[in-house]
Amino acid sequence: MADEQKPGGSEVPSPPAGEGAKPPAKPAADAAKPAPPKPAAPPKPPATMAATPWDSDLAREVKARFGDGVLAASTYLGQDFVLTKPESAVPVLEYLKLEADFDYLVDITAVDWPKRAERFDLVYIVYSFPHNQRIRIKTQIVDGFEPRTATGVHLTANWLEREVFDMFGIRFAGHPDLRRILMPEDWQGYPLRKDYGILQQDVRWVQENLGIESGQ
């Protein structure tokens, strides 16, 4: 929290500082090798984020309030986040807005982890104007799960959820207007999924609507 106000690398907290010592060492090791342009799959990096438990009044309050619904409260690089069960994410948002002054929903986004059983990370970033504090609410959902919409809590969730639906194919239950927003409405496929290739396109759509063989 306190670190949030001083972005950059000068934080004192121990775990990130320990992490910070690594990057300068690594490039040196890479430079010694015969210049690999893309070290494609080095098995070295640890598989998980070196986050530490987030201990604060707010974290304890949220945990007490939602019990099993909150899986963990962690902090990484001075940024705090709460991991919740899928069905608890929106209630936590609502609680934070109404009772902890987190009145500004900054962003909603998703991250695709195709090899994981719960395929998507759904991430809500909220900010509190009175407390000048920013936290993230994260939840892991399986492909096909329809999380509840947050439009009833923050109006700004409307377009943000539409974009998540457009890019990842996550449908939000109860959303008032769930249409694609950036891609054409009848486009097939969800571009930000990891199994969607960078050159991939909806060939039929391109041929019918643009009158060309391929957009590539």
Nearer to other proteins, 64 or 117 (CB): 117
- Site residues (vs other proteins, CB under 8 A): 4-11, 16-17, 19-20, 22-24, 26-28, 30-31, 38-39, 41-42, 44-51, 76-77, 79, 103-107, 109, 111-112, 123, 125, 129, 132, 134, 136, 154-156, 158-160, 163, 167, 180-184, 191-192, 194, 196, 198
Which CB, 64 or 212, lies closer to other proteins? 212
> At its nearest, how many Å lie between other proteins and the CB of residue 59?
18
Q: How far apart are CA 58 and CA 159, in angstroms?
A: 28
| Cα 90-94-96 angle, rounded to 5 deg | 115
3-state secondary structure of 197: coil
CA distances for 132 relative to 37, 55, 121, 176, angstroms = 42, 18, 25, 31
Q: How far is the CB of 159 from other proteins (least distance, A)?
A: 5
Q: Which is nearer to other proteins, 43 or 67 (CB)?
A: 43
Strand order in the sheet with 120-128: 52-53, 70-76, 79-84, 133-141, 120-128, 104-112
Query: Least Å distance between CB 64 and other proteins?
Result: 26
Residue showing tokens 């199994």: 195
Q: How far is the CB of 60 from other proteins (least distance, A)?
A: 23
